[in-house]
Amino acid sequence: MRRTERFKKVIAWFQENMPVAETELHYTTPYELLVAVILSAQCTDKRVNLITPPFFERFPTAEVLSKAEIAEVFEYIRSCSYPNNKSKSLVGMAQKLVGEFNNVVPSDITELQKLPGVGRKTANVIASVVFDQPALAVDTHVFRVAARIGLTKDAKTPLETERQLVKHIPESLLAIAHHWLILHGRYVCVARKPKCAECGLQAFCDFYHRNNKV
């Protein structure tokens, strides 16, 4: 199957079967989502959603967080992965947000990446989810699912994956495509034992065809 045709079929399937796809992180403001996405690196959204309510009660704004001691922040997020690094990043992010961005989360992907703890993936999430920009964040789920299905070919890095996906997915669908691939990877196309028997993408999936000699 040609890659262009595969993309069309996969997109059509998701549009029919997952017309609504959103982040599973809980947030009410751009600042809250920024914190949640930083915390979510190599950590489950479920765990992050347990951490953030007391965190935001104590640090409701970037201004409050910017004045916090790293040791105190650590106590609030110690149950997530890499709490030491994330504590430093969160306080640094808040200080830069207050000091250089007038306490406003920027919408520009390049500007977002100037904040401590914010890489390209996090910046793309904020740009697409908060500001509805045509950006596609690539995490481990997106990277794995896109390669398995056959949407990407020989992509060695998240950036290579992003470039290949953006080339074939209509700009208007980039933001939701991020969630399609993440949710599919989280619940169906899981890392160790993908649930191919219950996957609706069997007919267009390179991985399924290779492993089932269809």
Binding-site annotation, residues for [4Fe-4S] cluster: 189, 196, 199, 205
| Beta-carbon-side half-sphere exposure of residue 165 (alpha carbons within 13 Å) | 31
Per the annotation, the verdict on 195 as an active-site residue is no
Annotated catalytic residue: which of 9, 139, 153, 193? 139
Place of tokens 């509805």: 132
Annotated catalytic residue: which of 121, 132, 156, 213? 121
CA dist 139 → 40, 41, 143, 165, 168 (Å): 10, 9, 6, 13, 18
For 190, the 3-state DSSP assignment is coil
Measure the CA–CA gap between 71 and 68, rounded to whole angstroms: 8
DSSP letter for 162, please: H
Measure the CA–CA gap between 115 and 127, rounded to whole angstroms: 14
Give, in degrees to the nearest 5, the angle at Cα 71 between 79 and 32.
60
Measure the CA–CA gap between 170 and 107, rounded to whole angstroms: 21
Q: Identify the H or E element spanning 186.
A: helix 174-187
For 118, the 3-state DSSP assignment is coil
Measure the CA–CA gap between 95 and 153, rounded to whole angstroms: 40
Per the annotation, the verdict on 132 as an active-site residue is no
| Residues that are catalytic | 121, 139
